[in-house]
């Protein structure tokens, strides 16, 4: 069971990290962040089951709520960028580049 | 039986996460993410956390995915000309980073002291979970509730757009 869960967590987190680092589209990067959060939640739930730790379950509930708020703010920012006519490509957003 | 169910859910989640990464279409990525979230909710239920599985279904697979799909529709949903960014990090530096993560993971799993499983608290894990959430983490729960209200403000139209 341990190996199956940790392999799943590793695969999901690696795919999410690769999406954030490698993909160009802002929405794809946000989806990658959500994937990484899902992987961490799986690890925390497994930890809670193995060690009978209710604090990990409470942490997962809080993480789910915070991630939902983060998704709402991220998507509204992406919509704002879209309205300004700059497109969804992360490479085009270079106003703050030094 | 439960082990096989977890293995199948994990394999399906891993396959669809690879599909997310490799797909050019944002619609396809969103649908793949939905499948991954459903599989993680199933793993939550199988690992003895049905409430969290339900929360995952309602919040992620329901509300957040609807928002994501609506944003993709608003953006036109066009596939990117180029799938991946021009990755300009020097290769030796990137290899060093990957190697460091691998070594740290190996050290974590081999050198970490094994922790004995705690006895299941009286009333079960679900009762202890609610006690943690509404007593031990009561302030954090209230703060997260406030954060959700503040996040809702981000969806309000601004004066310039109106």
Predicted local distance difference test score (pLDDT) of residue B115: 60
Kindly tell me the burial class for residue B31, based on how many C-beta atoms sit within 10 Å of its own C-beta (0-12, 13-18, 19 or more): middle
Q: Is the pLDDT of residue B113 over 60?
A: no
Q: What is the pLDDT of residue B82?
A: 61
Phi, psi of A14, deg, nearest 5: -65, -45
The per-residue pLDDT for B147 is 86
Inter-chain touch B59–A68, beta carbons under 8 Å: yes
Sequence-separated (6 or more) residues with CB below 8 Å from residue A37: A16, A63, A67
Gap from B120 CA to chain A (nearest CA, Å) = 6
Instruction: Give Cα A68 to chain centroid, integer Å.
Output: 10
Helix-then-strand count for chain A, H and E: 3, 0
CB atoms within 10 A of CB A69: 19
| Chain A partners within 8 Å of B26 (Cβ) | 25, 27-28
> CB-based contact (8 Å) between A90 and chain B?
yes
Q: Do A91 and B85 touch (CB under 8 A)?
A: yes
d(CA B27, CA B80): 12
Residue B159: per-residue pLDDT: 62
Averaged pLDDT, B82-88:
62
By the 8 A CB rule, do A54 and B132 touch?
A: yes
Using a CB-CB cut-off of 8 Å, the residues of chain B touching A56 are none
Convert the pLDDT of each residue in A38-91 to its tens digit: 999 999 999 888 888 888 888 999 999 899 888 888 888 888 888 887 777 777
**Sequence-ordered list of residues with C-beta below 8 angstroms from that of A38, at least 6 positions apart, any chain:** A12, A16, B36, B37, B40, B60
Given the cut 0.95, state whether the ipTM is greater than it.
no
Q: Which fold has domain A2-87?
A: Helix Hairpins (1.10.287)
Q: Domain boundaries in chain B?
A: 1-75
């Amino acid at each position: 069971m341990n190996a199956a869960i940790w392999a799943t967590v590793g695969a999901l987190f690696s795919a999410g990290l690769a999406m954030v680092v490698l993909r160009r589209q802002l929405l794809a990067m946000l989806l990658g962040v959500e994937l990484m959060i899902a992987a961490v939640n799986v690890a925390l739930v497994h930890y809670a089951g193995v060690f009978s730790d209710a604090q990990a379950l409470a942490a997962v509930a809080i993480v789910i709520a915070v991630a939902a708020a983060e998704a709402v703010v991220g998507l509204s920012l992406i919509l704002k960028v879209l309205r300004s006519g700059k497109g969804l490509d992360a490479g085009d957003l270079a106003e703050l580049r030094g | 039986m439960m082990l096989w169910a977890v293995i199948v859910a994990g394999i399906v989640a891993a396959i669809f996460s690879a599909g997310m990464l490799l797909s050019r279409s944002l619609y396809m990525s969103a649908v793949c993410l939905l499948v991954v979230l459903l599989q993680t909710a199933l793993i939550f239920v199988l690992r003895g956390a049905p409430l969290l599985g339900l929360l995952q279904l309602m919040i992620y697979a329901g509300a957040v995915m609807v928002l994501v799909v609506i944003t993709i529709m608003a953006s036109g949903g066009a596939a990117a000309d180029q799938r991946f960014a021009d990755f300009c990090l020097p290769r030796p530096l990137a290899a060093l980073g990957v190697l460091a993560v691998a070594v740290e993971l190996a050290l974590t799993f081999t050198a970490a002291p094994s922790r004995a499983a705690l006895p299941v608290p009286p009333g079960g894990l679900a009762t202890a979970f609610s006690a943690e959430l509404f007593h031990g983490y009561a302030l954090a729960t209230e703060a997260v509730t406030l954060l959700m209200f503040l996040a809702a403000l981000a969806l309000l139209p601004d004066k310039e757009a109106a």
